């Protein structure tokens, strides 16, 4: 694989990617944007602005471009160099900095490539990075391997809803045993959190509505039933209709703080530490 690697002077993440490429004999042209590569990156960014993530702190480096595909951030670049596009569902550009890597999605990828995903996690951890992994309940076998090998420093599980709505919210068939197993495994990590977003739903008549407080409470109950405990960190998150792809969801009104308190009250019957995400 050949390509251009845009780096930043003193960037530890960039050094890890360069080490990975050199260990595997991958050829690349490095362009340091604080030195001779500044102009080249400005041209590249102007051309590919929509494909390059720019967060509150600026562009995340390194950025790799092989003439066709762009990958950005330590985890996403390593995953692409290791396995091409096969791990795209598992790994995306992260938002954390310093020694942390996120954008690692246990439920997002094809389990047929589980070992390749795990190999990427092992490499990142082996280079003294702390990994924040998320899951929606699918691929519990991968989560178990992550637990057994101590690969993740933090795990966040999105319990998307009660059992009867889980597949409907995700838009796919789910294995309830897989979901319950992921909940159990998540609670065994040294640092973890459960969360539920008050998701929108479509009724049979096409009408859009939010999950009710009672339905979110049943998601909290699913955590209690799976773990035997009411005492887990549990965050209830409001849905942002402005970011919805479906225009029917865009038409929903944002949840008010008072409405969110109702969800918290209902959820605390099953998870006593339930709280509302602060903006």
SS3 43: helix
pLDDT tens string, the chain, 279 residues long: the values are: 689 999 999 999 999 999 999 999 999 999 999 999 999 999 999 999 999 999 888 899 999 999 999 999 999 999 999 999 999 999 999 988 889 999 999 999 999 999 999 999 999 999 999 999 999 999 999 999 999 999 999 999 999 999 999 999 999 999 999 999 999 999 999 999 999 999 999 988 889 999 999 999 999 999 999 999 999 999 999 999 998 988 999 999 999 999 999 999 999 999 999 999 986
Q: Tell me whether strands 200-202 and 192-197 are parallel, antiparallel or unpaired.
A: unpaired
For the residues of 127-158, what is the DSSP string, one character each? TT-EEEEEESSS-HHHHHHHHHHT--SEEEEE
CA terminus-to-terminus distance, the chain: 42
In a domain, residue 210? The reply is: yes
In a domain, residue 10? The reply is: no
In a domain, residue 167? The reply is: yes
Look-up: residue for tokens 């973890």?
192
- pLDDT for the residue numbered 58: 87
Q: 222 CB contacts (<8 Å, ≥6 apart)?
A: 159, 162, 163, 179, 180, 183
In a domain, residue 27? The reply is: no
- pLDDT for the residue numbered 1: 64
Phi, psi of 178 (to 5 degrees): -60, -45
In a domain, residue 212? The reply is: yes
In a domain, residue 211? The reply is: yes
- pLDDT for the residue numbered 48: 96
- pLDDT for the residue numbered 148: 98
Q: For the chain, what is the domain count?
A: 1
In a domain, residue 54? The reply is: no
- Domain containing 189 equals 158-279
In a domain, residue 209? The reply is: yes
Task: Please classify residue 230 by burial: count the beta carbons closer than 10 Å to its beta carbon, then call 0-12 exposed, 13-18 middle and 19+ buried.
Answer: middle
Task: Please classify residue 157 by burial: count the beta carbons closer than 10 Å to its beta carbon, then call 0-12 exposed, 13-18 middle and 19+ buried.
Answer: buried
């Amino acid at each position: 694989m050949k390509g251009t690697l845009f780096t930043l002077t003193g960037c530890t993440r960039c050094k890890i990617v360069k080490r990975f490429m050199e260990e595997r004999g991958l050829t690349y042209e490095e362009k340091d944007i604080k030195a001779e590569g500044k102009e080249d990156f400005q041209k590249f960014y102007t051309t590919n602005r929509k494909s390059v993530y720019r967060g509150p702190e600026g562009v995340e480096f390194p950025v790799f471009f092989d003439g066709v595909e762009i990958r950005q951030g330590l985890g996403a670049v390593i995953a692409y160099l290791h396995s091409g596009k096969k791990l795209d569902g598992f790994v995306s550009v992260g938002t954390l900095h310093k020694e942390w890597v996120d954008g690692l999605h246990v439920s997002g990828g094809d389990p047929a490539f589980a070992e390749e995903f795990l190999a990427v996690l092992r490499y990142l951890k082996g280079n003294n990075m702390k990994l924040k992994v998320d899951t929606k309940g699918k691929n519990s076998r991968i989560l178990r391997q992550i637990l057994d090998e101590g690969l993740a420093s933090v795990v966040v599980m999105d319990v998307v809803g009660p059992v009867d709505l889980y597949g409907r919210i995700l838009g796919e068939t789910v294995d309830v045993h897989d979901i319950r197993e992921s909940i159990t495994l998540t609670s065994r990590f040294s640092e973890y959190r459960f969360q539920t977003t008050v998701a929108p739903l479509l009724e049979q008549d096409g009408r859009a509505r939010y999950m009710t407080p009672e339905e979110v409470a049943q998601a909290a109950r699913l955590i209690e039933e799976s773990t035997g405990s009411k005492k887990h960190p549990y965050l209830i998150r409001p849905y942002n209709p402005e970011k919805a792809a479906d225009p029917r969801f865009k038409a929903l009104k944002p949840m008010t703080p008072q409405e969110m308190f109702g969800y918290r009250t209902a959820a605390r019957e099953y998870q006593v530490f339930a709280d509302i995400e602060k903006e």
